[in-house]
C-alpha cells in the first residue's frame, strides 16, 4: 500500500475515534486507562487512544492483567508490553494472585480482572476503556435474546456508564472487528491470538460461530430475516428505550429518595404507588444495587414480593438490602409509608484488606481511602472490648453524631482495624471525626452522580 494511502486511512481512523470520544463525552476526561489483552481489538484501542492523547495533551496508560491461566501467559504479557511501548503506550502488568476456584473459572477471572482495572483507573483518576466491538454486541444481544432478557438486557453492552465511581466506556463498540485489525495493520503493529476464542466449550464462542454461519448463508441467499446487523439494531433500539426509561426513573428518584452520606436512603413510597410494576421494579433494582452494592439486580419474583410487603407497610430483605418502614401505615393506603433502605449486615460478613494510602471500594458501595494499613469491615463486625460493666464496647468512642444514626445504618459503615488491633473510624461528610488529623475517609457511592475521587487533602 502506498504511504500516502496508508496515512490517509490512519487519519480517517483518528478522526472517527476523536468523534466517538467527543460523542460519548470522553473528551472531557483528563486521562484514560486501556484494558489491554494484546489481541487485535484491545491493541487497536490502545493505539488509537495513544494517538488521541498525543494530539490532545491528555494522559494514557494501559493495563495487562495476567491471570496465569495459560502456560506462558507471563511471557505473553511482557511481549505485549514491549510491543506497545514502541508506539508510546506505557503499561503495567498486574498478576492475579487470588486462589483459583474449582468451578466458575471464567467468572473468577472476569471479576478479578475488572477489579484490578477499576482500581488502576481510580488511582489515575482516568476513564477505563474496553475494546468491545460491534461483533461482541451482536453476540451479547443474541445470548440475552435466547435467555428471554427484558429491555435492559437486550440493550446489550453499554457504551458508557459509571461503575464504582469510575467512568467505564467502550469507544469502539460501533466498529467492526475487521476495522480494528486494519488499524493494527496500517500502523504496522502485531497482536496476539487467544486460543480460547476457538474453544467451543464457551457459549460466546458457539454464538459467534452461529452468527458467522448465519451471515454467510444470508449473503449467499439474500435472506436478511436474522443477521448480526439486525441483532445490533435490536440492541441499539432497546438501549434507546432503556435510556428513556432510566431518565424517567431519574426524575422520580430525585423527587422521592434522599441519600444520606452515612450510607443509606430514605424513600417516599407514595411517589411510586401508581407506577406500573415494570417501572416500579426498575426503580427498586437501582436503589437496591446502589445501597447494597450488588452487581446484579434482584429477580422479578422477589421484586413482586417486595412490592406486596411495602404495600402492607412491613419490613423486607432483598438483594443485600433491608427495607424498614419509618412511618405508621394508613390502613387504607399502606403504600404511603416511608422506608429506610439499609445495606444488610450480619448475614454475610464482609472483610477486606487495605494498604496504606490505598483507595478501594468496600462492599460495592463505599469508596475508602486510608493512611494506615489494616482490615476493613462493617462497624457492626468490628472487634469489641469489655467495659467496666462487662458490656461489649467499641474499641474507640464513636465520632460525634454517629449515635444519632439509625442502628442499621451505623452497623454498615466501614471501619478499619489496624495491624496493631486499634480501630479507625472514617471521616464522613457532615460528621466530625474524633481523630485529628483524619487518617481514613469514606464516600458513599450511592450518592455519586458523576466521577468523584476522595480528596487527597482529606487524609494528607
Q: Average of pLDDT values for 170-198?
A: 91
**By CB neighbour count within 10 A (0-12 exposed, 13-18 middle, 19+ buried), where does 148 fall?**
exposed
Backbone angles phi, psi at 325, to 5 degrees: -65, 140
How high is the pLDDT of residue 326?
85
pLDDT tens digits, residue range 166-177?
Answer: 899 999 999 999
Q: CA-to-CA distance for 8 and 179, rounded, in angstroms?
A: 15
How high is the pLDDT of residue 70?
80
How high is the pLDDT of residue 395?
43
How high is the pLDDT of residue 457?
33
Q: What domains sit in the chain, N to C, each tagged with a CATH number?
A: 3-132+170-193 (3.40.50.620), 261-343 (no CATH), 351-458 (no CATH)
How high is the pLDDT of residue 296?
76
pTM of the model: 0.80
Grid coordinates belonging to 310: 411495602
Q: CA-to-CA distance for 310 and 269, rounded, in angstroms?
A: 8
Q: CA-to-CA distance for 460 and 404, rounded, in angstroms?
A: 28
pLDDT tens digits, residue range 346-360?
Answer: 778 889 999 998 888
Q: Average of pLDDT values for 413-434?
A: 81
**Cβ contacts of residue 53 below 8 Å, gap of 6+?**
31, 32, 59, 60
Check: CB of residue 61 under 8 Å from CB of residue 33: yes
Report the chain's mean pLDDT, rounded to a whole number.
84
Q: pLDDT: is 147 or 281 the higher one?
A: 281
How high is the pLDDT of residue 384?
55
Is the pLDDT reported for residue 265 higher than 50?
A: yes
Q: Concatenated DSSP letters for 369-404? A: EESS-EEEEEGGGS-EEE-TTS-EEESSPPPTTGGG
Q: pLDDT: is 49 or 273 the higher one?
A: 49
pLDDT tens digits, residue range 319-338?
Answer: 999 999 985 544 444 444 79
Q: CA-to-CA distance for 255 and 267, rounded, in angstroms?
A: 10
How high is the pLDDT of residue 436?
52
How high is the pLDDT of residue 333?
43
How high is the pLDDT of residue 89?
97
Q: pLDDT: is 129 or 226 the higher one?
A: 129
Residue in the structure block whose three cell numbers are 446489550: 156
Percent of all residues in the chain with a pLDDT value above 90, rounded to a whole number:
45
Partner residues linked to 442 by β-bridges: 368
How high is the pLDDT of residue 23?
94
Q: pLDDT: is 334 or 5 the higher one?
A: 5
Residue in the structure block whose three cell numbers are 475488572: 114
Q: pLDDT: is 178 or 161 the higher one?
A: 178
- What band does 135 get if pLDDT is binned at 50, 70 and 90? very high
Is the pLDDT reported for residue 224 higher than 80?
A: no
CB atoms within 10 A of CB 286: 17
Is the pLDDT reported for residue 412 higher than 80?
A: yes
How high is the pLDDT of residue 58?
96
48-57, 139-148, 438-447: lowest mean pLDDT where? Answer: 438-447
Greatest mean pLDDT among 58-62, 225-229, 335-339, 402-406: 58-62
157-166, 379-388, 440-449: lowest mean pLDDT where? Answer: 379-388
19-23, 153-157, 411-415, 452-456: lowest mean pLDDT where? Answer: 452-456
pLDDT tens digits, residue range 9-22?
Answer: 899 999 999 999 99
pLDDT tens digits, residue range 62-81?
Answer: 999 998 878 888 999 999 99
Q: Are strands 257-260 and 127-129 parallel, antiparallel or unpaired?
A: unpaired
Check: CB of residue 177 under 8 Å from CB of residue 40: yes
- What band does 2 get if pLDDT is binned at 50, 70 and 90? low
How high is the pLDDT of residue 72?
85
- From the CA atom positions of the chain, what is the Rg in Å? 25
Amino acid at each position: 500500500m502506498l504511504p500516502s494511502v496508508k496515512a490517509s486511512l490512519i487519519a480517517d481512523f483518528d478522526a472517527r475515534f476523536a468523534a466517538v470520544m467527543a460523542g460519548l463525552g470522553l473528551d472531557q476526561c483528563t486521562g484514560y486507562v486501556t484494558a489491554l489483552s494484546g489481541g487485535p481489538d484491545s491493541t487497536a484501542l490502545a493505539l488509537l487512544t495513544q494517538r488521541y492523547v498525543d494530539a490532545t495533551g491528555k494522559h494514557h496508560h494501559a493495563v495487562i492483567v495476567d491471570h496465569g491461566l495459560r502456560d506462558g501467559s507471563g511471557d505473553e504479557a511482557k511481549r505485549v508490553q514491549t510491543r506497545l511501548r514502541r508506539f508510546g503506550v506505557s503499561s503495567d502488568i498486574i498478576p492475579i494472585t487470588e486462589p483459583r476456584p474449582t468451578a466458575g473459572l471464567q467468572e473468577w477471572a472476569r471479576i478479578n480482572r475488572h477489579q484490578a482495572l477499576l482500581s488502576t483507573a481510580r488511582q489515575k483518576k482516568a476513564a477505563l476503556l474496553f475494546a468491545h466491538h460491534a461483533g461482541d454486541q451482536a453476540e451479547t444481544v443474541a445470548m440475552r435474546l435466547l435467555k428471554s432478557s427484558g429491555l435492559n438486557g437486550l440493550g446489550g453492552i453499554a457504551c458508557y456508564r459509571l461503575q464504582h465511581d469510575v467512568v467505564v466506556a467502550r469507544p469502539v463498540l460501533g466498529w467492526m472487528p475487521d476495522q480494528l485489525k486494519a488499524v493494527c495493520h496500517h500502523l504496522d503493529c502485531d497482536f496476539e491470538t487467544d486460543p480460547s476464542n476457538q474453544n467451543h466449550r464457551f457459549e460466546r464462542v458457539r454464538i459467534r460461530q452461529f452468527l458467522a454461519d448465519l451471515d454467510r448463508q444470508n449473503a449467499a441467499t439474500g435472506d436478511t430475516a436474522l443477521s448480526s446487523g439486525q441483532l445490533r439494531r435490536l440492541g441499539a433500539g432497546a438501549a434507546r428505550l432503556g435510556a428513556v426509561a432510566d431518565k424517567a426513573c431519574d426524575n422520580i428518584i430525585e423527587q422521592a429518595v434522599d441519600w444520606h452520606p452515612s450510607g443509606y436512603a430514605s424513600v417516599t413510597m407514595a411517589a411510586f404507588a401508581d407506577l406500573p410494576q415494570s417501572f416500579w421494579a426498575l426503580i427498586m433494582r437501582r436503589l437496591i444495587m446502589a445501597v447494597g452494592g450488588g452487581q446484579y439486580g434482584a429477580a422479578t419474583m422477589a421484586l413482586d414480593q417486595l412490592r406486596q410487603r411495602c404495600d402492607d407497610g412491613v419490613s423486607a430483605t432483598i438483594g443485600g438490602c433491608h427495607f424498614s418502614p419509618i412511618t405508621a401505615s394508613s390502613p387504607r393506603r399502606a403504600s404511603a409509608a416511608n422506608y429506610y433502605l439499609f445495606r444488610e449486615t450480619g448475614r454475610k460478613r464482609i472483610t477486606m484488606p487495605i494498604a496504606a494510602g490505598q483507595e478501594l471500594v468496600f462492599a460495592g458501595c463505599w469508596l475508602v481511602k486510608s493512611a494506615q494499613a489494616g482490615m476493613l469491615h462493617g462497624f457492626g463486625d468490628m472487634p469489641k472490648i469489655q467495659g467496666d460493666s462487662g458490656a461489649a464496647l467499641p474499641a474507640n468512642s464513636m465520632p460525634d453524631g454517629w449515635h444519632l444514626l439509625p442502628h442499621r445504618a451505623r452497623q454498615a459503615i466501614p471501619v478499619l482495624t489496624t495491624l496493631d488491633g486499634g480501630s479507625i473510624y472514617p471521616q464522613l461528610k457532615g460528621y466530625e471525626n474524633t481523630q485529628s488529623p483524619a487518617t481514613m475517609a469514606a464516600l458513599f457511592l450511592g450518592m455519586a452522580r458523576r466521577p468523584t475521587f476522595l480528596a487527597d487533602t482529606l487524609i494528607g
